[in-house]
Structures are given as C-alpha cells and as structure tokens.
C-alpha cells in the first residue's frame, strides 16, 4: 500500500534549474546576488523597510531580539502553543520567556492572557501564527502600544495567510518567516527577518554574518578592504543555493496555497458530521496558510492508539505542536490549561500541496475507523 506522508515539499524542475545556475555562478555561499535578489523581493512583497535572509526562523527570532535590545533578565511574553523557537530565542539573550495561554478555538495567543501577564520587567511580546493561522493583531498591537512593548510576529508557518486583508509577515513591526521543508514555500531550511525599520534590518544583517559586511560585496571593491569586527555576530547567513530555490518558490505561493486550501476544504467536507473530532476554526477576518491540518480528538479517544493505527496503514500523523510551558527545559511553574489541553488532544494529519483527492479520502476513511477503534473503555 502506498504511504501518505504527513508533509511533503513541493520542489520540481524549476527549482532544480535554479540550483544548477547557482552552482555555475561561482558564488554558492551566503549574501551573494541571489540572496540580495531574494531580500529585494521579500521587501517588495511585504512592503517593509527591510528583509534579511537567514539560515532559519530561529535565527531570525534571535536576531530580532538582539536588534530590539532585549537585556538579560527582561521578560518577553510568548505564545505557549507552538514550536518552542520563540521561547528558545528569548533564552538565547538570557531573558525570561513568560508563556501566554491561547484561544481554545484557534490555538493562537490569547490577548487577554497577554494583558494579564504584563509586569514591570516585561519588554515585549512574540505572537505566533499557529500552524498557519494569524493571531489577533488588532488587540495585540493595542496592548503593546498601550504598555510601550515591542511586538514580534512569528509567521514561520503562515506564508500566504492574511489578517484583515494584510499578509502574514507584515502584521507587526518585526516578523520572522520560516522556509523549512514542511512550510508553504521551502528551500529545505531557511528563514527571513522582515521589519518596517531599516535600522533593525541593517543591525540583523550585520549580526547574521559574524558582525561584518558581505564578503561578496567587499570582493568587488578595488584594493584590499579588510573587514573590521566591531561586535559579536553569528553565522546565520542563507546560502545563495537556498536563495535561488526560494526565488522560484516565491513565485509559486499562490499556486501552492490554493492546493493546500483545496485539501483543507475536502477534509472539512469529509469530517463535517464526525462527532469524535473538532475541525480547525478560521475566523472571518483572516485566512489560513494550512501549514498543518490539526483535528482535536474527543476526550473519549485514545490518541496514541489512533496514531499507531494510521501509521500501520502508511498514513503519516503527528501530535501537532507543543505546550511549551510543559517542556522541562523551561523549568516554569506557569499553567496554560488551554494550551495543555490542545497539546494532549490534537492530531495532525497529512497536509501538503501534493496530496491527491484519493489520498485525502483514504486518510479520512482510515481516521474515522481508527477513532472508533480507539474509544477508551
């Protein structure tokens, strides 16, 4: 029986040709001509003051906090129900992540939880567009402005999604994208920092390259320019090979998103009368990028048994994402009950642009049977 993977990257001949061009160019490393072209396209697409292409979204988050001058001991409120990258980035700068609970219906950060957590050491908020669904930015922006806090959008999963007519990635003064292999567009690994402030972009670009200007640019200067290291930086550059792939993928955002939307719509139709799952909810003022498709199982269902059943049939599935406050690395006594409940009950089923109609129907049929076989006694 053919397997149906949970995720699958949509890469083809055009991307392969772009890689071949990068190979023959003589400059496969970072901050070369393709990286610059990618940053230009991102700046234009998102109508921001600057874009910095980097090795991954975690790097973008780290650079954002450095550029925003987060200091050791500062508190940054982060969405709890997500991959732990935002909280990790806060720890990278020796600050303290404070976990905000999420909405039960959307899984996105709850603005009221954010407001309740603000204290004298709070300097900012990192909101997350949970598995592709934008957070409540009108409310979050109002809270941040009222208390003098920065607001960062973690749009890692949300390329192509919208909130009140604006594209995810342009919903806060600083935003971070991911181009990991399971995202809507991908170069295998990769990310970007987007910002309305060119000064923040320049700071992030310098810190992404060990604290010096682009070697590619300096190689074109007549004479012998010797870089001067004025501050500690990191090797967060995105290779020109990856940038070449992303230049192609950016042109395919609409096509790939339409295919994911069709899969999501088909799932919604097939599970419309299924009492043992709750389907994803998308408020009317936003659209979903469908990086993942997660259903919430009824409390009577043994999720581990369902997953084992599906995987035995060659159907990929996963737990969804994390309730970060429960991870031992953070050693926190905070409680986020909504996030904890979602972490215990949600199940991710196959979602990518390469899924065929027959595969979607097979997933639905197999999941329905698995649910009934896994009802707790």
Give me the CATH code for the 253-373 domain, please.
3.90.1150.10
Does the domain at 13-250 match CATH 3.40.50.800? Answer given as: no
pLDDT score, position 217: 75
Q: Residue 216 pLDDT > 80, yes or no? A: no
Q: What is the pLDDT of residue 1?
A: 64
Q: Per-residue confidence at 27, pLDDT binned at 50, 70, 90?
A: confident
Catalytic position from the list 183, 220, 296, 365: 183
Please report the beta strands in the chain, taking only residues with DSSP state E, as ranges in sequence order.
50-54, 75-79, 96-100, 122-128, 150-154, 162-163, 166-167, 174-178, 191-195, 277-278, 286-287, 293-297, 346-349
Q: How many residues does the chain have?
A: 377
Domain residue limits, the chain: 13-250, 253-373
| Percent residues over pLDDT 70 in the chain | 99
- pLDDT at res. 232: 93
Mean pLDDT of 168-182: 97
pLDDT tens digit string along 271-328?
999 999 999 999 999 999 999 999 999 999 999 999 999 999 999 999 999 999 999 9
Q: Is the pLDDT of residue 166 over 90?
A: yes
Residue 77 and residue 126: Cα distance in Å, rounded? 6
Helix, strand, coil % (nearest 5) of the chain? 40, 20, 40
At CA 351, angle to CA 41 and CA 5, rounded to 5? 115
Alpha-carbon distance 125 to 139, whole Å? 12
Q: What predicted TM-score, i.e. pTM, was given to this entire model?
A: 0.96
Position 235 scores a pLDDT of 96
On average, the pLDDT of the chain sits at 96
The DSSP result for 335-347, as a single string, is --HHHHHHHHHEE
- Catalytic residue status for 296: no
């Amino acid at each position: 029986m053919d397997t149906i993977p949970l995720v699958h990257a949509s890469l083809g001949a055009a991307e392969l040709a772009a890689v071949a061009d990068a190979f023959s160019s003589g400059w496969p490393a970072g901050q070369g001509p393709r990286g610059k072209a990618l940053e230009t396209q991102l700046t234009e697409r998102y109508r921001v003051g600057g874009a910095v292409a980097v090795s991954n979204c975690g790097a973008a988050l780290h650079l954002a906090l450095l550029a925003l001058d987060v200091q050791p001991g500062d508190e940054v409120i982060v969405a709890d129900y997500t991959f732990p990258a935002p909280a990790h980035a806060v720890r990278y700068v020796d600050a303290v992540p404070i976990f905000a609970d999420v909405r039960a219906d959307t899984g996105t950060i709850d603005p009221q939880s954010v407001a309740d957590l603000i204290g004298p050491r709070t300097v900012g908020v990192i909101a997350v567009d949970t598995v592709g669904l934008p957070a409540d930015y009108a409310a979050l922006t109002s809270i941040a402005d009222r208390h003098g806090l920065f607001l960062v959008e973690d749009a890692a999963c949300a390329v192509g999604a919208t909130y009140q007519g604006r594209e995810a990635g342009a919903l806060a003064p600083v935003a971070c994208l991911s181009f990991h292999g399971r995202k809507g567009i991908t170069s295998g690994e990769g990310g970007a920092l987007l910002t309305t402030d060119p000064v923040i972009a320049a700071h992030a670009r310098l810190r992404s390259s060990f604290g010096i200007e682009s070697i590619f640019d300096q190689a074109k200067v007549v004479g012998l320019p010797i870089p001067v290291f004025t501050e500690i930086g990191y090797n967060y550059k995105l290779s020109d090979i990856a940038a070449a792939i992303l230049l192609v993928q950016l042109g395919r955002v609409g096509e790939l998103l339409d295919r994911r939307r069709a899969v999501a719509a088909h799932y919604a139709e097939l599970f419309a009368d299924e009492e043992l799952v709750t389907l994803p909810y998308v408020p009317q003022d936003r659209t979903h990028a469908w990086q993942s498709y997660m259903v919430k199982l009824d409390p009577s269902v043994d999720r581990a048994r369902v997953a084992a059943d599906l995987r035995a049939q060659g159907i990929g599935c996963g737990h969804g994402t994390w309730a970060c406050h429960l991870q031992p690395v953070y050693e926190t006594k905070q409680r986020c009950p909504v996030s904890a409940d979602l972490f215990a009950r949600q199940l991710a089923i196959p979602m990518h642009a390469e899924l065929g109609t027959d595969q979607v129907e097979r997933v639905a049929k197999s999941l329905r049977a698995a649910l009934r076989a896994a009802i707790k006694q």
